[in-house]
Structure 1
Amino acid sequence: MNTPHDFPIRRGCPFAAPEEYDALRTEEPVARVTLPTAREAWVVSRYDDVRALLADPRVSADIRRPGFPALGEGEQEAGARFRPFIRTDAPEHTRYRRMLLPEFTVRQVRTMRPAVQARVDELLDDMLAAEQPVDFVSVYANAVSTSVICELLGIPRENLEFFRDVTRISGSRHSTAEQVSEALGGLFGLIADLVAERRKNPGDDLLSKLVVEHLNTGAITLDELLSTVGITINAGRETSTNMIALSTLLLLDRPDLKEELRAEPSLMPRAVDELLRVLSIADSIPLRVAADDIELSGRVIPADDGVIGLLAGANHDPERFEHPGRVDFHRPDNHHIAFGYGVHQCVGQHLARLELEIALETLLRRVPTLRLACDREQVGFKHDSATFGLEELMVTW
């Protein structure tokens, strides 16, 4: 057997999967890797194999399993304690999804468009009134994503950087279990206070509905509610923040694409899906454990071994996407899996698409002169976080 590869593999280009994925798909589509925790696991890089893996009922997402391929020292210990629903299996996982799905359907998300547009315009007004240059990640990308999820849940958004700090710690591969627990504890404390308030005075927000329909009826415990709301905030705002910021940088690097969207705004929904495919910021989020022996591309993954479905590997598979590195806003049949696949596919994907469409369209329309306020080489990327993105992006206009 070949010597295990070190994983994660750093991107050479921020707008593409690591170049090493091409060799993996060709030579070792199911490859043994060594994780930062010194544990070994498997990575799967072909589109068909990743979809098969994520749809296989013999695969577990339960973070309590000993073979779970956590990428950070503190991830598994904290996850086993707080039990985020994305790291559980059916029927537990199914119960949580059924609570959230009614609020994230296509029809329900469509009704949110006017409110999201109004908030994006307000934040862009603030940015344009600020002294230049500004950190685009903080004043726009993070502000948009955090405001939208907080608005949905009915959570005050006075301190947007608080939520960003929680995610920065809990999503870092270098954080200890104690650091992750402390960060999440602060978030859960804030939510617990709001839950107590909603029990007395419920409103029409999602948190109130969860309290009235599920907590007060005994369908879930307070700890389960805190964990569910916490992961909804963390996952929802972090992915959208990184997608807005990284997509903007790509468009600044590629004026031809920016002008294409400005000339034809109706392309935006297709452009968003292409950006989701190309950037694949949640590449290694699908962490799983084989509950039984599983064969993919002629290689058997033994039961109880950890396995990771590489979303960027799948989304850049030339067997599925012609010229996968090319950014093509007219790409036909763009069935990417940037939101995962199977029963764990992202519950908030329709809201994420709406946020990206509005945030990018409004930015291109209202700030056509947006440009970098630093050397391109100075832009810092988040190579050691659960989702890939930008630490900071200084811009002017």
Structure 2
Amino acid sequence: MTDTTETTGPLPDPEAEPPVFPQEKAPGCPFDPPPAYRRLQAEDPFARVTLPSGQQARLVTRHRDVRAVLDDPRFSADSSHPDFPRMFPRPVPQVLQGTFPRLDGAEHLRYRRMLARDFTGRRAEELRPRIEQIVDARLDLMEETGGPLDLMEALAYPVPSTVVCELLGVPPEDSPLFESRTRVLINGRSGPQETQRAKDDILHHLEGVVAAKEKQPGDDLVSRLLVDQVAPGLLDRGEVAVIAWLLLAAGHHTTATMIGTGAMLLLENPEQLAALRADPALLPGAVDELLRHQTAMQIGMNRIATEDVAIGDETVRAGEGVVCQLASANRDADVFPGPDRFDVTRTARGHLAFGHGPHQCPGQSLARVELQVTLARLFTRLPALRLAVPAADVPFWHHLFGIHGVRELPVTW
């Protein structure tokens, strides 16, 4: 595996064409970000780069600078801005445009407050016993079926998908539809028509769920939104379906990918797995270390400067697009010594895997509990778990667009 602490030569001449973002990963090194980001972090932490769309933007790679950008209201998440940095070289539907993750300020905060009670740390802990039941049921089925099998399909996808469906009040039998359509939306290779069709399928199905909950509400998030927000006129019915879609998409795919990637990373680092088995109290910290080391959002978080902003010695001009590279920020040696080393004893709580600032992922507490429960029970129940193929043959998601991590994970025991 390539050691990304080393550089591979000087940065391009400042008069030359800006480097292209994203960079390719080093061959045979699926767990690490592209080595070029380490060089940019050291030598040009606000580099001007050319995006696949042809636009130029500033690539922010240091931990402190990424925090500063994501915490500053002068950097907008509104993708309807004509100069907002786009990643795709062809026109595609902006699936988040107009939804609350792309709002700023008070309007964004209004939506987050609607969801706050269901995504607190306390609520996540209340759900832990039910998550344990869901994980155990999937592991029972795995043991009955026997290996080899794809851990992603057998465990990693079903667990978070079932959890978020129950939280929202979506029938569990709908989960496969949402999983398949979400993969179309995020894989970076779907055409415009395919992307729009997948989004329409999800929303149409969720509109049916909302209609059913209006007639027969339950103890779930969709029902509460209808009672607390739609009834007094603070939301309309269509917005409830969109919010449910966003939470379904965010609530299952990234967590599923981290379950699979975390399982493989531990299998490939047996000394770290042994340390966890010897001291289960390390697990919460180990999950944060996993989130830091294997940042799912390796494409970055995009923003647009609404006015000139000085950050340290750099000035980002109004109208400039910014890409906050979370994966490189999480490998910043000034914050995480020996950043390329996966170390379950590390204190990694300052990582940026969930973003930072007003738009930080609201479901992070739930994701942590799901990862803790699933990984702990997986390696306890199946102590002889191992890869069923060489590590080099495990397919990862196409990192240039969308989510980083394991796509399929053949295992046996």
Which interval holds the TM-score relative to the shorter structure? over 0.9
Provide the residue aligned with 2:19 in structure 1: 5
Aligned pair 1:23/2:39, yes or no? yes
Residue 71 of structure 1 is matched in structure 2 by 87
Give distance in 2, aligned partners of 1:208 and 1:174: 35
Where does structure 1 lack aligned partners over 5 or more consecutive residues? none
Asked whether 1:90 is paired with 2:105, we answer yes
CA distance in 2, matches of 1:285, 1:90: 21
Q: How far did 1:35 drift?
A: 1.6
**Could you report, residue by residue, the CA deviation over 1:291-321 in whole angstroms, capped at 9, with x for unpaired residues?**
1112335332221121111111111111111
User: CA separation in 1, counterparts of 2:76 and 2:124?
Assistant: 30
Q: Deviations over 1:17-62 (max 9, x none)?
A: 2211110011110011122222221110011100000011100001
What's the CA shift string for 1:228-274, capped at 9, x where partnerless? Answer: 11111101111101100000010111111111111211110010011
Cα distance in 2, alignment partners of residues 384 and 22 from structure 1: 17
Output one character per residue of 1:53-72: Cα deviation in whole Å (capped at 9) or x when no partner. 00111000011111222223
- 1:66–1:324 CA distance, 2 compared to 1 (3 A): same
Instruction: Give 1:389's aligned residue.
Output: 405
- 1:110: how far off? 1.2
Matched, 1:355 2:370: yes
Secondary structure of 1:380's aligned partner: coil
Instruction: State the secondary structure of the residue aligned to 2:322.
Output: strand
**TM-aligned CA deviation for residue 74 of structure 1:** 5.0
Q: Measure, in 1, the Cα distance between the counterparts of 2:113 and 2:299.
A: 25
How many correspondences in the alignment?
395
In structure 2, what is the equivalent of residue 39 of structure 1? Answer: 55
CA distance in 1, matches of 2:239, 2:307: 28
Structure 2: any 5+ residue segments left out of the alignment? 1-13
In 1, the alpha carbon distance for the partners of 2:92 and 2:365 equals: 27
d(CA) in 1 for partners of 2:96, 2:191 = 12
Task: Note closer, same or farther for the CA distance 1:101–1:60 as it changes in structure 2 (3 Å cut).
Answer: same
Q: Pick from 238, 257, 271: which aligns with 1:242?
A: 257
Post-superposition shift, 1:96? Answer: 1.1
Moved more, 164-173 or 252-261: 164-173
Q: Counterparts of 1:333 and 1:356 in 2: how far apart (Å)?
A: 15
Structure 2 length as normaliser, TM-score? 0.92
Residue range with higher mean Cα deviation, 187-196 or 177-186: 177-186
Say whether the 8 Å CA contact 2:164–2:251 is kept in structure 1. yes
Distance 1:75 1:311, change over 3 A: farther
* SS of aligned partner of 2:40: helix
Q: 1:223 to 1:184 in 2, by over 3 A?
A: same
CA–CA distance in 1 between the matches of 2:239 and 2:319? Answer: 26
- Cα deviation for residue 178 of structure 1 reads 2.6
Residue of structure 1 equivalent to 2:210 = 195
Runs of 4+ in 1 over 6 A off after TM superposition: none
| In the alignment, structure 1 residue 54 sits paired with structure 2 residue 70 | yes
Change beyond 3 A, Cα 1:237–1:208:
same
